[in-house]
Each structure stands twice: as C-alpha cells, then as structure tokens.
Amino acid sequence: MPESVVGRALDDLTPVFSRFHTWRSLAAVDIRSKYRRTYLGPWWITASNGIFAFIIGTVSGRFLGSNMQEYLPFFITGMTIWGFVSSAIIESCTTLIQSGGLIRATNMPLVIYIMRMVQRNFIIFLHNSAVIPIVWLVYPWHVGFYALTALIGFFFLYVCVSSISLAVSIVCVRYRDVPPIVTALVQVLFFISPIIWQPSQLRGGHEVLLFNPIAHLLVITRDPILGKTVPLMSFGISALTALLCASVALAIYSRYKKRVVFWV
Amino acid sequence: MKQVVVENLSVAFPISLSRPQSLRSELTKKLSRIGGRVVSDDSHGAVLALSDVSFTLKPGDRLGLIGPNGSGKTTLIRALAGVYDPSAGRIRADGVIVPMFDIGLGFDDEGTGYENIYIRGLIMGLTKEQISKRIDEIAEFSGLGEYLDMPIRTYSAGMSLRLMFAIATSVQGDIILMDEWLTVGDAEFRQKANARLRQLTEQSGILVLASHDTDLLRQTCNVAMYLANGKMCHFGKVDDVLRQMNEKQDAN
C-alpha cells in the first residue's frame, strides 16, 4: 500500500518540527562550546572568512586579472554559501557514526542528530556572511528590497542540504567506504559550479550551468543579494531539486532508520 | 492502565557486514560460546540476541533481569526503551518510559554544570521551560553548589556522576529501565541517591532492572527473569527464579 508507506515517511518527518527546539538549541550549544574561552567567540568564523576575502581581493584578484569591483562580491558571496553546503555534507558522513553511543542509549530520532549538525553549520554560515556587508563597503553595489528574495532561495537550499545530509549520513554508517567518495564528489561539485568562475567567463560547456542544481541554488541565493534578478527557471529547478532530495532522503530514512542502531 | 506486554520478542543483530567469508565463520564460532545464538544464512550473519521472549508486567511490578554476560539483559532493556527494533514479535508499553542507563552520554566537557543540565535535558526530550523548572532541584540534589558554574572538565569522576545521577533521576515516568543499579558518589551521597532511586522506582508503575547482584534483586524486585543465550529460561517470583538459577548452576 503506497499510501501507508508515504504516511509513515511523513510521520518520520514530524520530529523535525515537533522537536524543533531540541536541535536548534543543541546546535547553538555546540557553537558556544566550540568557541568557549576565546575572545571573539563565534566571530572568529567571520574574521577568518574576512581574512580569506582580503587575501583573494588583494593578491589573487591581481593574478587573475579580474575586475575586483565585480569579482570579489561575487566570489565571497558564493564561497560563503558554498561553505555551508560543503561543510554540512562532508560532516554528515561522520555525524551518526560519531553519535553511536547516544544512538544506542536514547530513542532520540536520528533526524534530530542531522538537523543539529545542519543547523550548526547554518549558524557558522550566518557568521561567515557578516563579511558580505564589509565587502559591500569597499566595493558597493546596488542593494534593494529584491535582495529579500534570497530568503526563498535559502529555504530551498536548507531543505536540499539537510536532505542530502540525512541520506549521506545513513549510507555512510552502513558503508564506511563512502565518506572519502563524498568528499571527492563535493570537491568536483565545487569546480563545476560558478563559485570561483563567473558564468560570463565560460567559453563553452554551458550545460554545466543548466544541469547542475547547485548552480541554480547558487543563483537563487547569491544573485538577489548582489542585486541581480533571478530567472524563474532557477527557482523552478531549485524547488524541484529540494522536493526530489527530500523525497529520496525521507524514503531512505524511513526504510533504514531502525537498522542504523545495529550499524553504528 | 500502565503495563508492558511483550509477545514473542526477538532481536537480531546483523554481524560481519563486509568481512570476508572465512573471517566471518571464525567469528561466528567464537561468538557461540557466550552470548546469543548465532544464526547465519548464505548472505548475512546475525546474532539472535533475544529469541522468542514473552511476558507481561502489571502496574507495581518490579522486574529483575539476571543471567550471564551476553545473555540478552541489556538488549531487552534497550528494546523496551525503543532503541532496538524487534526483528520479530512486539512490545506494547503503555506509559512514559524513562531509560536510566548510559546516563553520562551527550555531555559537553567544556560546558558548565548548568549548561550540561540543559544539554542533557534537551537530549532527553525536555523543552527549555521544563528544564528551567527542574534546574534548581537538580542543582540542589547534586550538592555541587558553585561547581555548577565551572566546566565539568574540572570535576572529579564522583562529582560528574553526581550530576548525571541528579539529571537522570529528575524525570518522572511510569516505566523505569535500568541496566545495573546506579551507584554513585561517597557514602553520604550514595545513601541519598539510594533513597531517591527507591522512591522513584516505588512511585513509578513499573521497573525493569538488569543486575548480577542477587541480593539487590531480592530487595528491589518482586518478579525476575533468568536469561541465557537470549532465551527466557525462567520467569516468575524473584525467589523462585533465583533458586532455579542456583540449582541450574550447581548442576553444571
């Protein structure tokens, strides 16, 4: 009965909402714990991203011969968003494996562990993104209310990242050879997505922009911030990607969540 | 009505997931001397940690689990807690289940005592408000005073245990699950802790306690189960089960 399968899968999703406070608070605790006894606290994240932006802006930009006024905002915004995507997905390989003890001792739903990790990386992303206004001060661009469209983009991005993380984490518990593969794949995605290169610099192979969902997710999150309008197609493809990722992840989760405790 | 009904419960652990065949058979041979029964077909091996266990606990029942290492005590406790999914049979538990084992997990060494009360509370499924309501009581019971403002990294082993105990026992429930009686701290605290555990287990409808300590089981429980190799050998009044167990051991 397909209906009951779907129903059960949706039931598995409820802890994400009913225990929202659990994973959100635990993520905040993780961040506080990581930067305990430091002066800047989580703002170290911002600072390191700022140093990175400064180096790219002053050194690499000249080597690349790009127009910094245009390139630096593009690069820093894209890199900051990508940081969230890559760190969450790479961390998801070990999230469940490292929580083995707790998984065997409590009946906290597994999805909470994943949401805690994704949210933690999202908080890091928020700190990182504080660099964007600083770059704006140096190389101002036009910002309007349209920038708020990015919020829709981040919603889709968040859904995609948490879904992929959920699926990856379960596969990684079962097959311990997968984590290095995931790391390699994430790196490939970085190079085929418009982060260090701008779409306008492409001389050929524009399929990379059309068929790469990451490229669309970047467009709907980054472009509004940079004051560019987003093609509707990118919203459509991003929404579809989010739906697809969530369905696949939920199917895997629903089917294997009871087995994970025996695998960790 | 608060009760626990377990029908034909079996829990199977998949083993040797990606090991070569020869190693697997070696392992299987070794495992069969203690622990559950090792079953294997062509593709998968599994340890049958519990097989075909059925029993019913009524309100007021305090069940003691006894048996050699690897007999399935912990597996049964974890299955009751909802950690392990039955591979066959079913468990019906009416009432709030309070797992009281592995109470030291999830703590953050760098965090203060207060922060850890909060973290552990969240993991146990409490909301911020519920934790705030309990925090004073937990702090007082732990007797740690101003140490609660210091990172638990600075605590002695006994002090951490006090905190873990105070948190774990701050929740009220109907069905308490314990893997070995919690013994913590110095003589004074141990007395206080024991009194609290007694009170908690008496208040709760049902207690399931796994232990090797027959005296403790006699004191605490009214019913007992003797497990061996994942099978329920005896179930009944605690004195009867312990006697039967002793007879069996003498016979060997």
Q: What one-character-per-residue DSSP string does B138-163 give?
A: HHHHHT-GGGGGSBGGGS-HHHHHHH
| pLDDT mean over A9-34 | 90
Percent of chain B whose predicted confidence (pLDDT) is above 70: 88
Binning pLDDT at 50, 70 and 90, where does residue A58 land?
A: confident
Binned at pLDDT 50, 70 and 90, residue B177 comes out as very high
pLDDT computed for residue A118 by the predictor: 97
Residue B119 lies in a domain: yes
Q: Which residues of A touch B122 (CB under 8 A)?
A: 21-22, 25-26, 29
Q: Does B205 touch chain A (CB under 8 A)?
A: no
Among A12, A14, A31, A33, the strongest candidate for a mutation testing the B interface, having the largest count of B CBs within 10 A, is A33
A52-66, A89-103, B18-32, B46-60 — most confident range: A89-103
pLDDT over 70 at A65, yes or no = no
Higher pLDDT, A50 or A4: A50
- Is residue B235 in some structural domain? yes
Chain A positions in Cβ-Cβ contact with residue B128 (cut-off 8 Å): 21, 25
Q: Give me the residue spans of the domains in chain A.
A: 3-31+39-263
Which residues have a Cβ under 8 Å from the Cβ of B209 and sit 6 or more positions away? Answer: B62, B63, B64, B65, B178, B180, B181, B201, B216, B217, B220, B221
Which tens digit of pLDDT belongs to each residue from B72-116? 999 999 999 999 999 999 999 988 888 888 888 889 988 899 999
* pLDDT tens digits, one per residue of B50-75: 999 999 999 889 999 999 888 999 99
Domains: count for chain B? 2
CB proximity A103 to B under 8 Å: yes
B178-217 residue pLDDT tens:
998 877 778 888 888 888 888 887 777 899 999 999 998 9
Dihedral-angle region of residue A205 (phi above 0 means left; psi in -120 to 50 means alpha; beta otherwise): left
Determine whether the interchain pair B13/A262 forms a contact, defined as Cβ–Cβ distance below 8 Å: yes
Is the domain of B225 the same as that of B242?
yes
- Judged by CB atoms within 8 Å, which residues 7-26 of B form the interface with A? 13-14, 17-18
The answer to the question of residue B84 being in a domain is yes
Q: What is the pLDDT of residues A118-144, one digit of tens each?
A: 999 999 999 999 999 988 998 899 888
B135 and B88: one domain?
Answer: no
Statement: residue B18 has pLDDT above 50? no
Instruction: Answer whether residue B48 is part of any domain.
Output: no
Instruction: Give the residues across from B50 on adjacent strands.
Output: B11
Does residue B234 form part of some domain? yes
Nearest Cα residue in chain B from A25: B122
Which of B112, B139, B167 is the C-terminal boundary of a domain? B167
Same domain, B95 and B106: no
**Is residue B161 a part of any domain in this protein?**
yes
Is A262 within 8 Å of chain B by CB? Answer: yes
Tell if the CB–CB gap between B13 and A259 is shorter than 8 Å.
no
B107 and B94, same domain (yes or no):
no
Half-sphere exposure of B118 (CA within 13 A, CB side): 20
The parent domain of residue B144 ranges over 102-167
Helical packing angle, A68-98 and A178-192, nearest 10°: 170
Q: Is A98 on the interface with B (CB under 8 A)?
A: no
How many angstroms away from the CA of A229 is the closest CA of chain B? 41
Q: What is the pLDDT of residue B21?
A: 46
Same domain, B122 and B163: yes
Does residue A161 carry a pLDDT above 80?
A: yes
Q: Please name the residue of chain A whose CA is at the shortest distance from the CA of residue B80.
A: A107
What pLDDT score was predicted for residue B24? 57
Q: Give the residue-averaged pLDDT of B39-58.
A: 79
Instruction: Tell me how far apart the alpha carbons of residues B149 and B163 are, in angstroms, rounded to a whole number.
Output: 12
β-partners of residue A64 are none
With a cut of 60, say whether residue B20 has pLDDT above it.
no
B12 part of a folded domain: no
Inside any domain, residue B112: yes
Chain B residues near residue A103 by CB distance under 8 angstroms:
83
Could you give the 3-state DSSP secondary structure of residue B190?
A: helix
pTM for this model (two decimals)? 0.88
Alpha carbon distance A87, B13 (integer Å): 33
**Which residues touch A185 (CB under 8 Å, ≥6 apart)?**
none
To the nearest whole angstrom, how far is the Cα of B112 from the nearest Cα of chain A? 10
Residues of B in contact with A175 (CB under 8 A): 18
Reading across the β-sheet that carries B3-15, which strands appear in turn? B37-40, B45-57, B3-15, B88-94
Identify all chain A residues contacting B78, using CB atoms and an 8 Å cutoff: 104
Average pLDDT (A26-51) is 85
Q: What is the pLDDT of residues B227-251, one digit of tens each?
A: 998 899 999 998 999 988 888 878 7
